[in-house]
Chain A
Amino acid sequence: MAIRGIDFPNLVLMDALDLAILVEDEAQERYEEFAAQMEQHRTPEAARFFRFMAENEAKHGRELTARRRQRFGTAAASVSRAMLFDVEAPDYDAARAFMSSRKAMEAALACEVKAHDFFDQALPAIRDAEVRGLFQELRAEEVQHQTLVAAELAKLPPDSGLSDEDFVDPPAAQ
C-alpha cells in the first residue's frame, strides 16, 4: 500500500493538497538520493538526469505549495510524510551502479505511471468535489510527465546491447 492512514471518502481539499505536496517532496528527495548515489558510483549521466527529475518534482511541489498557501494560508497540516510509501518516488530497487540514461529514464517513467495509477485508483472513493477535481488534474499531469519523459527517451540513441559487466571492473572486496 503506497499510502496509509488516509480516509479517502472523507478527504478534504487542504489535506489533499498537502498530500500532493508531500508526494512531490518524497519524490524529489528520492531523486536527489539517487543522484548522489550515481555520483558516488561514478555514473554521471544518470546522475544528471536524476537531478533534472528532482528539480521537476521540486517545481511541481512549489506550484502546489503556492496554491495551498493561497487557499489555506499557513494552517497546520494534519497529514505527514509518515503516511507515504514511495507514492511517486522511485523504489530504491530501481537504481543500479553504471545504469544508463535510458534505464534512469525508464525508472522515472515507471514512477509517473505509478503516480498516475495512484490517483486513478483513489478517485472512485473520493466524495469531495474539489478533491476529485484536484486528483483528476494530478492524474492528467502524470500523463503529461510520462509523455515528456518518453520524448526524452526517444531522443536517446539506442543502447549498445552490450553488457556493462563486460567493461566495468568487478566489485572490490572490502
Chain B
Amino acid sequence: MSPTGTCDYQPKDYKSDLKPIWCPGCGDFSVVAAIYRALAGIGRPPHEIAFVSGIGCSSRIPGYTTAYGFNSVHGRCLPIAQGIKLANPDLLVLAAGGDGDGFSIGGGHIPHLIRRNMDITYIVMDNQIYGLTKGQLSPTSPKGRNTCTSRLGSLEAPVNPLLYVLAYGAGFVAQAAPTDLAGMADVIEQAIRYPGFAFVNIQSPCVTYGEEGQQIKGLKAISETLESLGHNPADRLAAMDLAQSYGSKLHLGVFYRNPEPPPTYGDLVKERQDLLSQGALPKERILELFVKK
C-alpha cells in the first residue's frame, strides 16, 4: 500500500502548537523539522498518520506533530505500532524513540518487526546517552565513556545499531544527522516511501549531556556521504562492512535498500483474509463450530 497522498500539504501543517521541552540546541529540533518536510513531501493528511514513541526526550516527538500520536511506555513503541498497522493497514505508521528506548529495553522487539516486514518506518534519535533521566550510559555509548552511571568509564562495548538492523535483514537502512538537513529530510521521506520496514538512525546530539566531540562540529569532522564513497545501496554486505565504522565515522545516506522488496506482512494478511472470508460462518452462528456431529 503506497503511503503517498494526493493533497498539497506544507511542513507547517504537520507542526502542532505544543512547545517542545527539548533543550535549545537539541538535535531533535532538526529531526522533527525534517519529519515535517518528509511528510509534506508524502502528502498524506495528518489524521491518516499514526506516530508512536516510547519514553525519552526524543519520544516526545509525536506530540509536536498534528498526527495521531501515542507516547507510550519505555521500549515498547514497536509492538504498539504493529498493532495499529495491523488494525488499519491504510494508515501511515511511524515509530520513533531514542537509542536506549530502542536498543536497550526495546531491543527484543526489533528483530521481530524486521522479520515480519510490516510497512512501518522507525526513526531512532541516537545520542549515545540517556538524556531525559539525566545522563546515564546508553547501549550506544562508546566503551570507556564517562557518564553518571559510569563515572569510572563504561566497561561495555556498544551496540552498533546499523549493523544489528542490517544483520536482522531490514529492507531499508539509512543514517542521517543535522549536519546535512537536506539529506535527513530526504532519507526520512525515502524510508516512508519504502514498501516495508524501514529504519533511519539519526545522530542527534545532546547539548546537555553529550560530549564536545559529539556536537555538530564534531559530527561534521567525521561525516561523509555514502554516495560520495560510491556505495551501492543494493549490496547488503557492503553496507554491513561500512556499518562497522559506526562510532568512528558518520556515514550519511542510504546503507541498504532492497531492490526487490518482498511482500509486506500486511500484504500477506490481506491475501489470507480475502481467501478465508468467503463462505465464513456468520459471527452470530459461531457456536456451530462446536456442534457435536
Contacts and interface: CB of A to CB of B under 8 A. Distances in A.
Are chains A and B touching directly in their complex (CB below 8 angstroms)?
A: yes
B24 A37 contact: yes
Contacts of B207: 93, 96
A1 interface: yes
A174 B133 contact: yes
Given A93-B25, A173-B132, A1 B11 contact: no
Nearest to B41: A82
B19 A36 contact: yes
A95 interface: yes
Interface string B28-70: 0110010001001100000000000000000000000000000
B253 to A, nearest CB: 14
Given A1-B182, A85-B182, A171 B134 contact: yes
A13 interface: no
A112 to B, nearest CB: 19
B142 interface: no
Contact of B215 (A41, A93, A99, A171): A93
A108 B25 CA distance: 15
Interface residues of B, number: 29
Contacts, number: 62
A95 B20 CA distance: 14
A86 B233 CA distance: 28
Interface in B80-119: none
Interface secondary structure of A, over-half rule: loop
Given A82-B41, A173-B133, A174-B132, A92 B30 contact: yes
A81 B11 contact: yes
Interface residues of A, number: 26
Nearest to A94: B25
Contacts of A34: 24
B19 A92 contact: no
Contact of A38 (B24, B209, B215, B216): B24
Interface secondary structure of B, over-half rule: loop
Contacts of A4: 182
Interface string B1-38: 00000000011000000011101111101100100010
Interface in A10-34: 33-34
A91 interface: yes
B202 to A, nearest CB: 13
A143 interface: no
Contacts of B19: 36-37, 40
Contacts of B171: none
Interface-central residue, A1, A41, A85, A171, by most chain B CB under 10 Å: A85
A59 to B, nearest CB: 21
B133 A86 contact: no
A35 B80 CA distance: 36
A32 B229 CA distance: 39
A171 B24 CA distance: 13
Contact of B208 (A36, A37, A86, A171): A171
Contacts of B208: 171
Given A91-B216, A93-B27, A96-B207, 17 more contacts: A37-B20, A41-B24, A43-B24, A82-B40, A92-B25, A92-B30, A92-B178, A93-B178, A93-B207, A93-B216, A97-B23, A97-B24, A99-B24, A171-B135, A171-B209, A173-B133, A174-B132
The 7 closest A-B pairs by CB, nearest first: A95-B24, A173-B134, A92-B29, A85-B181, A37-B24, A93-B216, A174-B132
30 contacts: A4-B182, A34-B24, A36-B19, A37-B20, A37-B24, A41-B23, A41-B24, A43-B24, A82-B37, A85-B182, A86-B181, A91-B178, A92-B26, A92-B27, A92-B29, A92-B33, A93-B25, A93-B205, A93-B215, A93-B216, A94-B25, A96-B25, A97-B25, A99-B24, A171-B135, A171-B208, A171-B209, A172-B134, A173-B132, A174-B133
Interface of B: 10-11, 19-21, 23-27, 29-30, 33, 37, 40-41, 132-135, 178, 181-182, 205, 207-209, 215-216
Interface of A: 1, 4, 33-34, 36-38, 40-41, 43, 81-82, 85-86, 91-97, 99, 171-174
